[in-house]
Chain A
Amino acid sequence: MRKGLSPATQPRPRPAKRERKGTAEARLQAAIRELKDIKAALDEHSIVAITDASGKITYVNDKFCAISKYSREELVGQDHRIINSHYHPKGFFRQLWTTIGRGHVWHGEIKNRAKDGSIYWVDTTIFPRLNGKGKPLQYVAIRTDITQRKADEAALHRFTGDLAEKNKELEAIVYTISHDLRSPLVNVQGFSRQLARACEQIKSTLTHSVGRASPMVELQAPLEVAIPQALRFINASVNKMEQLLAGLLRYSRAGHVVLNIRPLDLNTLLTEILAAMKFQLDQAKAEVQIEPLPSSLGDRALVNQVFANLVDNAVKYRDPTRPLHIKVSGQIEAGQVLYAVTDNGIGIAPEHQAKIFNIFHKLDPDASSGEGLGLAIAQRLLERQKGKIRVESRAGSGSTFYLTLPKVGDESIIATP
């Protein structure tokens, strides 16, 4: 048996002429009904437009009007430039026209601009209707709104970037810990061995001194040199490890603090910081200038911590040969609030500038106390509030730390995952 043969192809007896005419009309009606239904289905799902061969819009469906926010009257007679977002390069549309002008179907994703300026993305198929010679008569464009998908893709891209950055950060931390924690371990083991050797020596001296007058001379070296030295290094190493672990914990906590994001008045915040640090600033004879600061979005306590750390650093790394000047200023730049904390301190040489934000990095351990965590934590706290920190500095003339935070009104950016 032959399969797939429709009844229409089966040979049929030829009907009478009148009957034939009636059937043809009925079939035509049926075909028209079917086409109407297919069109209705298409309109229900897709954004549809038809243009003439020159690209002038001759038809748009309701979905087209809805997404473009133009009325049918505004669209018909125009070409698609009315919704051009100027996102795509010229070559993009040239290639589109070359394809459909040759009678081929074009498929792609287009970013458009609606009447109200809002942006939308459409997945587009343009189908040329051709005349007998293969020349396009009309173009039928069928589109699907993919704005959300595009937004999701962009978000995914951002997250991937963030994740890669986090991974790098994590690697740096593991590297740091592997070195910084191993170092004191070597000392603990090594000097414990020195202690053991000293004990052996004392024991042996005492054993051999039975009956002799005084073994004091032989005991002097282990008791006065080796043992105190070993104890000193073991203690220092254990303290160092403890300090590293405590620092690590502090750094880790900075990544988990619950944020309370709200608009912040940086002018009062800075005034409070300076009041709290008055003693320290007076001692350093620091002159602090605060320009009117724009508000931003952030967690009050954390932003306070970051600025306090920067002012504290300016005091710590001041140039003793001249009076310390600190200036805090701010402005809105590129849709964010940019603050600058400038000092005239010792500055940072170019080769050290990237490292100062590394965990446990200290340029000069003798120059100041602390474990090299302040800026690493400041960076982490700002990142959590969608902010950033960077430094510009010249060795010998001072540093400016630039901080960005989201501006008031951009609350949606800080939506924490």
Chain B
Amino acid sequence: MKRSAPTILIVDDDEGHAILVRENLAAGGLNNPVEYFRDGQAVLDFFFKPNPDRGVEKGRVYLILLDIRMPKVDGIEVLRRIKLDPELRKLPVIMLTTTDDLREVDRCHQLGCSVYIQKPVDYDKFAEAIRRLGMFMTLLLVPTVNSR
């Protein structure tokens, strides 16, 4: 049975970044469905307070691209909450952020992020990083979310 491609959840308070990430993932050959969340609270609601319009679906696969500095609930808190959940903790979480503070990198790994990537400011490097990330993501085997 062929596994379905994971839905990529982009969580970033900067909508421009989300668009650029999406475009470059597509340019890297990734055709996965993408959902955009503009802050941490929105993605927590997606998982913990799903509604018919928008919410986690049983049996689907998800992969999270998470920014750190966001209003309301920041990426660290989102990561913490996801990794505390017995079911959601299986989800790969890729930190994708403009900061390269080593303590922050440390903290995210301690909390259980899968990968930490800094968004390069130089756009060629940015595009290249996202394209490679896309290729990397095609190699990932992502578990399905069973129940909550």
Q: Footprint of B on A, CB under 8 Å?
A: 175, 178-180, 182-187, 189-194, 229, 233, 236-237, 351, 362-365
Question: Which chain A residues lie closer than 8 Å to B72 at the CB level?
Answer: 363-364
Find residues 11-53 in chain B having any chain A CB closer than 8 Å to their own CB: 13-17, 19-20, 23
Q: Enumerate the 10 nearest inter-chain pairs by beta-carbon distance, A residue then B residue, closest first.
A: A189-B123, A187-B16, A190-B20, A233-B16, A182-B98, A179-B99, A179-B98, A190-B123, A365-B71, A179-B69
Question: Which chain B residues lie closer than 8 Å to A182 at the CB level?
Answer: 98, 119, 121
Closest to A372 in B: B71
Contact check: which of A179, A186, A237 meets B123 at CB < 8 Å? A186
Contact A236 B121 (CB under 8 A): no
Question: Which chain B residues lie closer than 8 Å to A185 at the CB level?
Answer: 121
Asked if A351 meets B77 with Cβ closer than 8 Å, knowing A186-B121, A189-B126, A233-B16, the reply is yes
Q: Footprint of A on B, CB under 8 Å?
A: 13-17, 19-20, 23, 68-69, 71-72, 77, 97-99, 101, 119, 121-123, 126-127
Most buried by A among B23, B69, B101, B123: B123
A195 to chain B, nearest CB (A): 12
Question: Which chain B residues lie closer than 8 Å to A191 at the CB level?
Answer: 16, 20
Closest to B101 in A: A175
Closest to A176 in B: B69
CA distance A179 to B127 in the complex (A): 18
Closest to A366 in B: B71
Contact check: which of A175, A180, A183, A193 meets B17 at CB < 8 Å? A183
A168 to chain B, nearest CB (A): 13
Asked if A190 meets B126 with Cβ closer than 8 Å, knowing A175-B101, A364-B71, A365-B71, the reply is yes
Known: A183-B98, A186-B121, A237-B16. 8 other contacts (CB 8 A): A179-B99, A180-B69, A186-B16, A189-B121, A189-B122, A229-B19, A233-B16, A362-B71
Contact B20 A186 (CB under 8 A): yes
Question: Which chain B residues lie closer than 8 Å to A193 at the CB level?
Answer: 123, 127
A-B contact pairs, 10 of them (CB 8 A): A178-B98, A179-B68, A186-B16, A186-B121, A187-B14, A187-B20, A189-B126, A229-B19, A351-B77, A365-B13
